[in-house]
């Protein structure tokens, strides 16, 4: 983030790194900034702050632990986070190689700085040592001075930062005990790297957190929130102790000429000395560990607080339905309302560090703002003044979500104890909101709570969705005090876990609820029956979707989503086409929340201590979709080998073979080859292709096609063509196939043990017949006989009976199957899977 100009309020966010930035430094003239990260694809980048563009990227750095740029902006130096190497580049030259790269035999160096008067000298420090560097065209010198604790009769160490003193050969290192250790040349060499400890000076009782220089003075920041200025003899010259903003993290001075014209002498503060001479410096800014940035003008002692941001995780965000406001709440107890058009703070309220904010929600007219806290408290605030209107303390666990009904009459909340709380607006002017009741309708975490509107009415509906795979609808109209009623509970998933839901935009005649699950699928449920009507492939971007929201731009509709670290959009209507989705990296340390503004022009995401604002540009998404092709082309690309590949040809062969099966394989009559097969053949084709759907998944696939035209025509579909079959296969099959470890996990679950679990043969057969989707005894016998090749090449019933008598199938299986089975035997010898290493 670059802040331009002394009085400018404009902030430009620039996108460059794929991981969290760990270090940043600026040249003396503030023209150049250098920053580095320590993620998987780490790099160092040099930026031109006047244009906000990256000039050069440096790779193969092993992560950046500390970083610095020389005063003349020619050299960039860094300490590697992975190898503790010292590295230095002349980034202005065309040579991309390091000038020097040397591993340091010391503790990880957490701070690094150039000598402002000599760009060939540097100093770094860890908690336990200070290291000096000197380089020229011939060699790099690295020297670690001894710390003679016996000579000074005290412990030396716990260093925080270090720097070179102006106008001399000395260097100093600040410590957490309030002292500075002074180093100077040892006289054995002209090389400035060879220094020794000369003295230790006690400056204060509080830990020193920042050590820097300004002209001839030494600048020291401390944990007590003060900034002190010392002369070359370490005598105090001035003291700023009025920040009241927490421990000092950094002190930065404006470049010469950026602080305006000098004022009259009487306006300049005096030094903290007997002479009280004018204390003349440039403007400087101070940042603290409480995420506060203060500015100190050059001609006054008045401290201006520029920013107060969140210094703990932001999980709660929401946008005002009418105004250009976004509300943000964090675990530090700060509630901040931001005008995202004018980029100004509209209001804020600090509840204190012990009142962590976990959920926020505006009502539909923007009158109230509901706030949920870590301890289960729910506050309803006036959205303008942020004053408390009502308070509820019925929940005793962290509030995870809040939602208002469309008519602003009801407020619902979910907590970490898997309980739903309902609050209702009352007619009592003194108590405008009243508690209705709570219900523990789920036995696992609730991932979503949302209000809707009943069909052909204005009656609100309340639904909750849990990791327990249950979709619960509450009877809010008939609920009374301390009695929140449940209207219905529906199991919507068999193996996947639902992760988010939203009402599908009204682009179909049928009213849908959109569900995203952990297996990278979207599901459309009928809003009334809650039965699955369609399954579609979702984004496959390293992790499954975490949250979805609707975006409406005129007559165009989209879905915005976040994954573990990305933000993206999908074009509606959903059809499983991967080219209808686009995404980019949003939060390196994880995205936790997503909301949109009322006009769907901007999106806001939360992750870590950051709330980011994104502008929506649908034209890019439409262009991506157009480049991906039309018709079946995008779906052929999902098949191994593409349109002309072996899987596509195999699908076509199975499609026509299914037509032969429906006309009897053994018939001698003339066959009719058409464009359709009956829906009964769909599960057979899927299994032949290596996709083994459960009976519920088979039913979902058949119903998806069967009722695909029912709303428009009132008739059901009994046949399917090849194009629809390909789309059905791409959307329903597992995104990453069937990993062998899932079979092992399932077997271990049945065995009830870890490691190389074993299970009795009789118990396994009993579980297969009585748990989950039940398999009858004749069916189980036929399946096992086929797997164990008892029938040979026989395919029809007559041939199977000829190969093995039905009455002897059980005896034969008992003779073949061992009494005790383990996972390897079951997967390799019964299922016929190839051996694999299970991670």
Task: Encode pLDDT of 49-81 as tens digits.
Answer: 888 889 999 998 999 999 999 999 999 999 999
Residues 6+ apart with CB under 8 A from 89: 58, 75, 76, 77, 97, 98, 99
Model pLDDT, residue 604 = 97
Cα→Cα distances 688→651, 695, 833, Å: 9, 16, 15
777-802 pLDDT tens trace: 778 777 787 777 776 655 555 555 55
* Average pLDDT taken over every residue of the chain: 88
What average pLDDT does this structure show over 627-639?
93
Q: Look at residue 318 and tell me whether its pLDDT is greater than 50.
A: yes
Model pLDDT, residue 819 = 83
Model pLDDT, residue 807 = 64
Q: How far apart, in Å, do the first and last CA atoms of the chain sit?
A: 42
Least confident span in 1-5, 390-394, 722-726: 1-5
- Edge-first strand order for the sheet with 470-480 is 446-453, 460-466, 470-480, 483-491
Model pLDDT, residue 405 = 97
The angle, 0 to 180 degrees and rounded to 10, between the axes of the packed helices 722-732 and 695-706 is 140
- Edge-first strand order for the sheet with 521-526 is 498-503, 512-517, 521-526, 532-537
501-533 pLDDT tens trace: 999 999 988 999 999 999 999 999 999 999 999
Quick one: which H or E segment has residue 12? strand 11-12
* Residue 616, token pair as written in the block: 């929506």
Give percent helix, percent strand, percent coil of the chain, each to the nearest 5: 15, 40, 45
* Residue 435, token pair as written in the block: 């508690």
What average pLDDT does this structure show over 587-605?
93
Model pLDDT, residue 262 = 40
* Residue 558, token pair as written in the block: 């989209």
83-105 pLDDT tens trace: 999 999 999 998 889 999 999 99
Model pLDDT, residue 580 = 95
Least confident span in 67-81, 144-158, 460-474: 144-158
Beta partners for 240?
Answer: 227
Residue with more model confidence, 6 or 535: 535
With vertex at residue 521, the alpha carbon angle to CA 520 and CA 522, rounded to the nearest 5 degrees, is 135
Report the share of the chain in percent with pLDDT over 70: 90
Peptide bond into 84 cis (omega under 30): no
Name residue, tokens 């409406």: 552
Query: Would you say 396 and 376 are in contact if contact means Cβ atoms under 8 Å apart?
Result: yes
* Residue 108, token pair as written in the block: 């990880």
- Edge-first strand order for the sheet with 195-202 is 159-164, 171-175, 179-185, 195-202
Q: pLDDT band at 304, cuts 50/70/90?
A: confident
Q: Look at residue 322 and tell me whether its pLDDT is greater than 60.
A: yes
Report the share of the chain in percent with pLDDT over 90: 62
Query: Would you say 593 and 317 are in contact if contact means Cβ atoms under 8 Å apart?
Result: yes
What average pLDDT does this structure show over 429-452?
95
Model pLDDT, residue 145 = 93
Model pLDDT, residue 30 = 87
Model pLDDT, residue 468 = 96
What average pLDDT does this structure show over 310-320?
93
Q: What are phi and psi for residue 439, nearest 5 degrees?
A: -150, 130
Name residue, tokens 């919507």: 492
Beta partners for 15?
Answer: none
């Amino acid at each position: 983030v670059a802040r331009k100009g002394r009085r400018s309020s404009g902030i430009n966010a620039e996108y460059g790194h794929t991981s969290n930035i760990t270090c940043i430094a600026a040249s003396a003239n503030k023209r150049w900034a250098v920053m580095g990260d320590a993620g998987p694809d780490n790099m160092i980048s040099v930026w031109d702050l006047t244009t906000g563009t990256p000039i050069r990227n440096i790779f193969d750095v092993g992560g950046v632990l500390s970083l610095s740029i020389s005063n003349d902006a020619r050299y960039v130096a860094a300490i590697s986070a992975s190898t503790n190497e010292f590295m230095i580049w002349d980034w202005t030259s065309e040579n991309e190689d390091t000038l020097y790269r040397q591993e340091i035999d010391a503790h990880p160096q957490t701070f690094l700085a150039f000598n402002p008067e000599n760009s060939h000298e540097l100093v770094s420090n860890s908690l336990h040592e200070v290291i000096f560097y000197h380089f020229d065209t011939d060699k790099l010198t690295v020297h670690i001075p001894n710390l003679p604790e016996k000579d000074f009769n005290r412990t030396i160490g716990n260093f925080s930062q270090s720097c070179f003193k102006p106008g001399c050969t000395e260097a100093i290192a600040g410590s957490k005990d309030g002292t500075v250790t002074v180093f100077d040349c040892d006289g054995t060499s002209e090389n400035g790297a060879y220094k020794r400890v000369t003295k230790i000076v006690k400056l204060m009782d509080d830990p020193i957190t920042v050590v820097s220089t300004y002209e001839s003075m030494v600048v020291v920041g401390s944990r007590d929130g003060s900034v002190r200025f010392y002369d070359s003899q370490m005598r105090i010259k001035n003291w700023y102790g009025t920040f009241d903003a927490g421990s000092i993290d950094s002190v930065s001075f404006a470049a010469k000429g950026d602080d305006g014209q000098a004022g009259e002498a009487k306006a300049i503060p005096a030094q903290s000395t007997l002479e009280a001479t004018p204390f003349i410096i440039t403007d400087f800014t101070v940042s603290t560990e409480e995420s506060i940035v203060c500015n100190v003008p050059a001609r006054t002692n008045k401290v201006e607080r520029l920013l107060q941001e969140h210094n703990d995780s932001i999980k709660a965000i929401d946008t005002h339905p009418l105004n250009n406001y976004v509300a943000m709440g964090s675990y530090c107890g700060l509630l901040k309302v931001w005008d995202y058009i004018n980029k100004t703070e509209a209001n804020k309220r600090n509840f204190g560090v012990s009142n962590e904010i976990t959920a926020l929600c505006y009502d539909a007219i923007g009158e109230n703002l509901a706030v949920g806290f870590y301890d289960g408290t729910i506050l309803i605030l006036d959205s303008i003044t942020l004053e408390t209107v009502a308070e509820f303390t019925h929940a005793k666990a962290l509030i995870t979500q809040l939602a208002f009904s469309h008519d602003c009459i009801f407020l619902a909340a979910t907590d970490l104890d898997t309980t739903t709380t309902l609050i209702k607006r009352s007619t009592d002017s003194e108590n405008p909101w009243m508690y209705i009741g709570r219900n523990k309708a789920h036995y696992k975490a609730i991932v979503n709570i949302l209000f809707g509107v009943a069909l052909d009415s204005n009656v609100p509906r309340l639904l909750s969705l849990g990791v327990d795979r249950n979709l619960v609808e509450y009877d809010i109209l008939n609920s009374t005090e301390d009695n929140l009623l449940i209207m219905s509970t529906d199991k919507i998933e068999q193996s996947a876990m639902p992760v988010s839901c939203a009402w599908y935009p009204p682009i179909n005649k049928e009213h849908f609820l959109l569900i995203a699950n952990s297996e990278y699928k979207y599901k459309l449920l009928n809003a009334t029956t809650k039965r699955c009507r369609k399954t579609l492939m979702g984004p496959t971007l390293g992790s499954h979707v975490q949250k979805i929201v609707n975006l409406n731009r005129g007559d165009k509709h989209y879905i915005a989503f976040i994954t573990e670290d990305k933000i993206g959009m999908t074009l509606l209507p959903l059809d499983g086409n991967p080219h209808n989705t686009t995404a980019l990296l949003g939060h390196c340390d994880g995205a936790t929340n997503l909301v949109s503004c009322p006009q769907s022009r901007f999106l806001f995401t939360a992750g870590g201590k950051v709330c980011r604002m994104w502008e929506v540009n649908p034209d890019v998404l439409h262009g991506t979709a157009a480049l991906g092709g039309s018709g079946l082309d995008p779906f052929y690309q999902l098949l191994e080998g593409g349109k002309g590949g072996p899987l596509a040809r195999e699908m076509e062969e199975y499609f026509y073979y299914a037509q032969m099966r429906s006309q009897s394989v053994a018939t001698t009559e003339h066959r009719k080859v058409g464009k359709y097969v009956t829906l009964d053949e769909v599960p057979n084709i899927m299994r032949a292709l290596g996709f083994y759907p459960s009976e519920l998944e088979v039913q979902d696939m058949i119903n998806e096609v069967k009722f695909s035209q029912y709303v428009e025509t009132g008739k059901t579909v009994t046949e399917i063509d090849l194009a629809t079959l390909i789309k059905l296969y791409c959307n329903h099959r597992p995104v990453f196939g069937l990993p062998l470890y899932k079979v092992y996990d399932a077997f271990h679950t049945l065995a009830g043990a870890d490691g190389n679990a074993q299970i009795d043969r009789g118990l396994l057969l009993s579980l297969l017949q009585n748990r989950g989707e039940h398999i009858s005894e004749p069916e189980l016998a036929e399946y096992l006989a086929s797997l164990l090749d008892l029938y040979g090449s026989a395919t029809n019933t007559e041939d199977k009976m000829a190969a093995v008598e039905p009455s002897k199938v059980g005896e034969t299986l008992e003779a073949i199957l061992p009494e005790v089975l383990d996972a390897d035997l079951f997967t390799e010898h019964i299922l016929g899977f190839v051996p694999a290493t299970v991670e």
